[in-house]
């Protein structure tokens, strides 16, 4: 089996490269390294079934020989990144998805799109189910990411309906674990980095907004299961254990035994007030649900961030 993973040098993509090598696949990792890092895949580059290709999939991609799976995970995925690279984010969601679907069609390969809970925007339905259409500002600062993913889902379904491409769509909710970047602007690396450096923890708004955090190993298990099931509509993958941002900050401080204080700042525009996946579909379809409690996942992630802070 040959599996191509775009964004394969990123946080989630690098874990997928590992998993499919473990399954015995030949893995082609494609990344333009805007937000990915070679350090995430350095331990894989000597593997005889692993190939790294530096390429921007917003431009056409040709691969010699057969392909069995195309997993499209390339995209800036944190507000810091997609606000810095709005055009690239739109292009990889639109042109990148179109190009990789064309590759999957040509190779008669299974295709998987990494979509996001951000397609639900600042939701008026809680928890979020796959049949909810969302509440998204199409011209706000976050729209470059939200709308890129919404378009990506639309073109995936069009390729499935018009061309019979064997597609999958996952909507990924907040995921954490080793290989997150300290500076990626997401709440967990922000809090851990600030606490480890003895800095105040930045909480936006009053901290009452909620998130649901899924450990990366659980997410990869769900991705692997969905790829092997014939189902073409979106599937939420995330942990429904919901927590307020203020509670989460307090958990991080307790875990580290940190004396850092909490500092409140204004809430960014269009920041979702709540986020919790309804994973009924994943439970019924895949027999999947997250197994790693947040307390365990955070402890397993802490060692990685301690090393990153020490080396920064």
Active-site amino acid positions: 145
What is the 3-class SS of the chain, one letter each residue? CEEEEECCCCHHHHHHHHHHHHCCCEEEEEECCCCCCHHHCHHHCCCCCEEEEECCCCCCCCCCCCCCEEEECCCCCCHHHHHHCHHHHHHHHHHHHHHHHHHHHHHCCEEEEEEEHHHHECCCCCCECCCCCCECCCCCCCHHHHHHHHHHHHHHHHHHHHHCCCEEEEEECCEECCCCCCCCCCHHHHHHHHHHCCCCEEEECCCCCEEECEEHHHHHHHHHHHHCCCCCCEEEECCCCEEEHHHHHHHHHHHHCCCCCEEEECCCCCCCCCCCECCHHHHHHHCCCCCCCHHHHHHHHHHHHHHHHHHC
Following CA atoms 151, 180, 252, 277 in sequence, which dihedral angle do they give, to the nearest 10 degrees?
A: 30
Write the burial class of residue 304 (CB in 10 Å: 0-12 exposed, 13-18 middle, 19+ buried).
middle
Closest CA to 6 of 90, 109, 79, 92: 92
Q: What residues contact 177, with CB distance under 8 A and at least 6 apart?
A: 11, 15, 215, 216, 217, 297, 300, 301, 304
CA–CA dist 101, 96 (Å, integer): 8
């Amino acid at each position: 089996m040959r599996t191509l993973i775009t964004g394969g040098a990123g946080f989630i993509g690098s874990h997928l490269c590992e998993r499919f090598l473990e399954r015995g696949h030949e893995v082609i990792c494609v990344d333009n390294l805007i937000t990915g890092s070679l350090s995430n895949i350095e331990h894989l580059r000597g593997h005889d079934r692993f190939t790294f290709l530096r390429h921007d999939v917003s431009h056409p991609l040709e691969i010699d020989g057969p392909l069995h799976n195309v997993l499209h995970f390339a995209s800036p995925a944190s507000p810091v990144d997609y606000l810095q690279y709005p055009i690239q984010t739109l292009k990889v969601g639109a042109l990148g998805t179109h190009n990789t679907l064309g590759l999957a069609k040509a190779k008669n390969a299974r295709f998987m799109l990494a979509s996001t809970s951000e397609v639900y925007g600042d939701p008026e339905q809680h928890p979020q189910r796959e049949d909810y259409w969302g509440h998204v500002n199409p011209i706000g600062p976050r729209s470059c990411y939200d709308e890129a993913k919404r378009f990506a889902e639309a073109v995936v379904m069009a390729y499935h309906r018009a061309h019979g491409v064997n597609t999958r769509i996952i909507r990924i909710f907040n995921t954490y674990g080793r290989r997150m970047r300290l500076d990626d602007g997401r709440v967990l690396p922000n809090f851990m980095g600030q606490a480890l450096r003895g800095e105040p923890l930045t909480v936006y708004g009053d901290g009452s907004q909620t998130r649901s955090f899924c450990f990366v190993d659980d997410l990869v298990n769900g991705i692997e299961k969905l790829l092997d099931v014939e189902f073409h509509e979106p599937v939420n993958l995330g942990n429904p254990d919901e927590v307020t941002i203020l509670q989460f900050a307090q958990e991080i401080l307790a875990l580290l035994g940190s004396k850092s204080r909490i500092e409140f700042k204004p809430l960014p525009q269009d920041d979702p007030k709540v986020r919790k996946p309804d994973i009924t579909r994943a439970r019924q379809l895949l027999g999947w649900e997250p197994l790693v409690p947040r307390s365990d996942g955070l402890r397993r992630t802490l060692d990685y961030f301690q090393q990153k802070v020490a080396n920064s």
